[in-house]
Structure 1
Amino acid sequence: MLQPRLTKVEPMPQMKLQLFYETGEVKIFDVAPYATGPWYGQLQDAGYFNAVQMLSGGIGIEWPEGQDIAPHELYENSIAVKKSA
C-alpha cells in the first residue's frame, strides 16, 4: 500500500517530527532510534535536526547532508494525533 503524500513536516522537541499528510492525517514520528552512528548521529544536534525539509512532491523528508527516512517507515511507524475527516 502506498502511503499518502506529505504536505508539511515540522521538527519538534525530543527528536520528533510532526507529519502532515494530504489525507488530513497528522502523525508524530520519533527519530531518536535512528540517530546513531557518525552519519545519522548528526541528527542529535538540535540545529541540524531542525533543518529537516520535505522532498519535492511530498514524497519524503531529508536533512541537508542527505539523511532520510523511508516514506513508508514515516507513515507506518508514527503515531496518529489527528485522524482524517
Structure 2
Amino acid sequence: MIPWEVKAAKPLPGYRLEVTFADGVHGVVDLSDVPHKGVFALWDEPGYFEQVRVDAETGTVCWPSGADVAPDAMYEEVKRQRASAV
C-alpha cells in the first residue's frame, strides 16, 4: 500500500477537495492557487470542478480532460495541516 494513494475525493466550494488517502489520513486540500490554464482552464466552467473522480489504477484525483493533481503533494499538505493543528 502506498499511503498517499487517494481513495476518496469530494469537491468543496472554492476549488477545494476533501480527500481520504489509503492510510486513512483525511483532510481538505485547497487547489485555488493552481493556475487555471491548459487542462485546468476547464475548472472555470460551471460544474466542471465538481466532476472530479478518483482513478483507482493510479490513486490520483482527475477530471474528464485528463487533468490530475499529484497525490503525494496533496498528502503532504494534509499532513502539514494536521501537524500545525496540534
Q: Identify the residue that residue 51 of structure 1 maps to in structure 2.
A: 51
Q: Normalising by structure 1, what TM-score?
A: 0.76
* Identical pairs, percent: 21
Structure possessing the higher relative contact order (Cα contacts under 8 Å, 6 or more residues apart): 1
Q: CA RMSD in A?
A: 2.5
Deviations along 1:13-37, whole A, 9 cap, x unmatched? 1110000123222111111111422
Give aligned pairs, total. Answer: 82
How much has 1:44 moved relative to structure 2?
A: 2.5
Residue 23 and residue 6 in structure 1: after superposition, are their counterparts in 2 closer, same or farther (change >3 A)?
Answer: same
Unpaired runs of 5+ residues, structure 1, are none
Q: Identify the residue that residue 32 of structure 1 maps to in structure 2.
A: 32
Unpaired runs of 5+ residues, structure 2, are none
